[in-house]
Amino acid sequence: MREYSLKEIARELNVSRGTLDRVIHNRGGISAETTARVQEFLDRINYRPNRIGQSLARRKLVRLYVSFHDTQAEFFKDIRTGINAAAAEIADFGFNVEFEEVSRDSAAQLNLVREAMRGGADALALSAYEPDHFVELVDEIARSGKPVVTFNNDVVSSRRMAHVGSNYRAGGRLAGEVLAKAVKSGAVAVLRRSSSYFQNRERVTGFTEVIDSYEAIRMAGCFGGSTDYDSAYQNMARLLETIPDLHGLFMLNNETDIITATCDAIRDSSRTPFDVVTLDLPAAVAREITRGRISATVCQDPFSQGYYAVKILFKILHENVVPSRSIYSTRLDVLYRENLDNYGKELYRTFL
């Protein structure tokens, strides 16, 4: 007799997975008629809960600990929404999701994660501020038998079970294609906050690969260092003055003052045509797209990064299902003024 998954059993009986879980683990709260119908089917297929599911069922609560660094509030707000959506879906199965945000302090984040895992958390979903500092701790947690899934920032070379996040190089390549098709000829440049971030290095690599494939467009270089409105305005004005054929910009810095100052400097230069492509959708980017001062932005689907990190851990612990691959890349979306209002309004409920 073939084995049935919980999803297949629920579909066959036309009941929710929460209802099915309550019957299997005798949690109550289900009508006698439904309980009898479910139990009859389970007996008929000789269903037996998996070993991990049985052990967890004996406990009152399964704790999933989520740790992430709030480096860009609006981006992580969408990640938080995804975490909350997944948490609501698995609550009836006895899973509780606890999440904690930390500032840009890897030592503080390390201590918080260590305390949470030693305090009884059953699994970890982690977006590390400085991933290289977390390899040893992730390995330690994995050796203790607790699964770790990373999201947004991967802890490469560690024993984490899976990673959910954007393909940074692909995102850079997509931005390059969008900007190249808009600019058509002349020079383009990249504005970035720091060259030390792995994500930005990968994005610039992908962007440059695409730009170099267009004979009529040249890569003028990568620039940065602005920390406030005045320095950003002056730096952009100087860039426009020193590069007369500059007609395109890929911005990796999404701080409001930097975005506003850069767009103001381009406007005041009267350089036309000029196209700007950015990353993600903070309020400043949405505002400038609406104004027509930013042409497009590449979004990394932050909702799914939080949502699927939690759902993968749920499948590992509840169904003893090992992730089918080590990296799950979230989708990349290009937003223009005409499709801006609809982004993020659809519901993401596709199960892995």
For residue 237, pLDDT over 80 is answered with yes
Query: Which segments of the chain does DSSP mark as H helices, in order?
Result: 6-13, 17-24, 32-44, 51-57, 73-90, 106-118, 135-143, 168-183, 198-211, 229-242, 256-269, 283-291, 302-319
**Which CATH number is associated with domain 62-165+303-330?**
3.40.50.2300
Rounded-to-integer distance, Cα 305 and Cα 329, Å: 9
Cβ burial 229-249 (10 Å sphere, 16+ → b, else e): beebbebbbebbeebeebbbb
* CA–CA gap between residue 232 and residue 193 (Å, rounded): 11
Q: Which CATH architecture has domain 6-48?
A: Orthogonal Bundle (1.10)
| Cβ proximity of 165 and 178 under 8 Å | no
Check if the beta carbon of residue 78 is closer than 8 Å to that of residue 92: no
pLDDT in tens, 272-299: 999 999 999 989 999 999 999 999 999 9
Mean pLDDT of the chain: 88
Class of the CATH domain delimited by 168-299: alpha beta
Q: What 8-state DSSP symbol labels residue 126?
A: E
The model's pLDDT over 46-81, given as tens digits with 9 standing for 90+, comes to 776 654 455 455 455 789 999 987 655 678 888 999
- Which helix (H) or strand (E) is 190 found in, with range? strand 186-192
- For the record, the structure tokens of 328 come out as 């799950």
Which positions ≥6 away from 92 have C-beta within 8 Å?
16, 18, 21, 22
At 259 the pLDDT is 95
For the chain, which residues make up each domain, given as ranges?
A: 6-48, 62-165+303-330, 168-299
User: Which residues are within 8 A (CB) of 243 and not within 5 positions of it... i.e. 6 or more apart?
Assistant: 187, 189, 220
- Whether 62-165+303-330 shares its CATH topology with 168-299 is answered yes
Reply yes or no on whether the pLDDT at 1 is more than 80: no
Q: What local confidence, expressed as pLDDT, does residue 129 receive?
A: 87
The pLDDT of residue 352 is above 80: no
pLDDT of residue 264: 97
Amino acid at 233: Y
Task: Look at the alpha carbons of 352, 171, 74, 138 in this order and tell me if their dihedral is positive or negative.
Answer: positive
